[in-house]
Homo-oligomer: A and B are copies of this chain.
Amino acid sequence: MTNYDSAAIRQLVDRRRPQHALESAFYTSPEVFAADMDAIFHRHWLYVAVECEVAEAGDAVVVDIGASSVVIVRGDDDEIRAFHNVCRHRGARLLPPGPAIVGNLVCPYHAWTYGLDGRLKFAEHMGEGFDHSCLGLRPVALKSMAGLLFVCLSDDPPDDMDDVIRQMEPYLAPHDLKNTRVAHTADLIEYGNWKLVLENNRECYHCMPNHPELTIPLFAYGFGFAPEELDAEELAQAERYDTLRRTSHERWEAGGLPSRLIEHLEDRPTGFRTERLPLDGSGESQTMDTMAACRVPLGGLRDKASGGLHFWTQPNAWHHFMGDHVVTFSVIPLDEGRTLVRTKWLVHKDAVEGVDYDVENLTCVWNTTNRQDADLVEMTQRGVRDPAYIPGPYSPYTEGLVEKFMEWYCMRLKACLG
């Protein structure tokens, strides 16, 4: 891992001006990137996969995170475990990134063979004194949150994850993730620092000028506005949304769907935020016509207009849970100027492609929106590299959640750099 000077980075963090974008170095310096990978991505819980990707014993999925790689595999005892994807002999990768079905985990180089529990079972030609027991695969901490799989690459993961799970499970459970499957995955490389990707996600100030498709189902005013700037028509719209949110929350909660805002973005290691948001039009789904994209409802949800539960986790994910499908996003930094955004669309496991749903219709809004966001992130990355760049002020109305992400980031960097 690239070295970095903790004191220099600590200084950068300390001089950050609140309510303003970060200095250029945070987005462009390889040293800050190395610190981010070490302090943020190697010491926090990362959303990386869904339980349904390892539905059966022997199902595995490999996720690369920077120079690290993790094998997630379901054992014959039905336990899901995670291991570092590194042979204990000479270090070869056991599996390439992506899904696999395995009996054992066999290194391709010299056929060292590990069980699905990580134990080293066979290693040829090592002689009689060889002690297999010390050379099992190195485990990676793993938690399932109602079917969302999180890993932590540290041996000492933040201990607040069980509490997040406790708070979130009632919100997520109605969508019954364990009975879904991945209908589509899209990997998009954005040419910007991972924090620009997150900042972009933490506000909808840019939605009106940039996301004509997303703002069909999603209310752009749902994430803030300056009330004194609205004209009469816009004010009426804002009030309509406000009323819809209040009445929807009441109806959903009465029907057993937890909906009210929980926000702990900047006050804990595993920062998160959730709220069930009403959608426009029919109120069913994030599609071009706002109607459900899949005919088979998730978890037997009977209220078709169940809106979209948004759920954010820090540092690397956001999700939209609807009645008919779920869209999950994970963010994986590649280097200081490139970031992978992996989007998965989940439908009920019994839904049949071409019969119950059409992939193009299912994925249209977010595929389009992702590409628009990738363009914005790239033009911002180019700008913040410019020696003439000066961090500007955030809007107090529409960028409050960007500020909270920044507060969390700075707080965690300070905590982890020591």
Contact = CB atoms under 8 A, between A and B. Distances in A.
B108 A376 contact: yes
Number of copies: 3
- Majority-rule SS of A interface residues: loop
Contact of A386 (B86, B384, B385): B86
Interface stretch (A120-128, A314-322, A344-352, A410-418): A120-128
Nearest to A24: B91
B380 A90 contact: yes
A128 B228 contact: yes
B84 A388 contact: yes
Contacts of A68: 386-388
A400 B199 CA distance: 53
Interface stretch (A205-213, A257-265, A276-284, A291-299): A205-213
A92 interface: yes
A206 B110 contact: yes
A398 interface: yes
Contacts of A87: 383, 392
Interface in A297-355: none
A395 interface: yes
A76 to B, nearest CB: 24
A84 B388 CA distance: 7
Contacts of A85: 383, 386
Contacts of A395: 110, 124-127
A139 to B, nearest CB: 10
A127 B92 contact: no
A88 B392 contact: yes
**Range for the number of chain A residues in contact with chain B:** 35 or more
Contacts of A92: 376, 379-380, 383
A91 B125 contact: no
A69 interface: yes
A91 B380 CA distance: 6
A368 to B, nearest CB: 16
Contacts of A124: 205, 226, 229, 395
A1 B28 CA distance: 9
A93 interface: yes
Nearest to A97: B382
Nearest to A396: B127
Nearest to A66: B387
A380 B109 contact: yes
A391 interface: yes
A226 B126 contact: yes
A108 B210 CA distance: 8
A294 to B, nearest CB: 33
A92 B111 CA distance: 49
A397 interface: yes
Nearest to A383: B91
A390 B134 CA distance: 12
Given A108-B210, A108-B376, A206-B109, A126 B383 contact: no
Nearest to A131: B393
B391 A91 contact: yes
A226 B12 CA distance: 57
Which 5 pairs show the lowest CB-CB distances between chains A and B? A84-B388, A91-B383, A91-B384, A125-B226, A89-B392
Given A108-B379, A125-B205, 10 more contacts: A84-B388, A87-B392, A89-B392, A90-B391, A91-B383, A93-B382, A125-B224, A125-B225, A125-B397, A126-B226
16 contacts: A1-B387, A68-B386, A68-B388, A86-B388, A90-B383, A90-B392, A93-B379, A93-B380, A109-B380, A110-B395, A111-B209, A124-B229, A125-B205, A125-B226, A125-B398, A138-B388
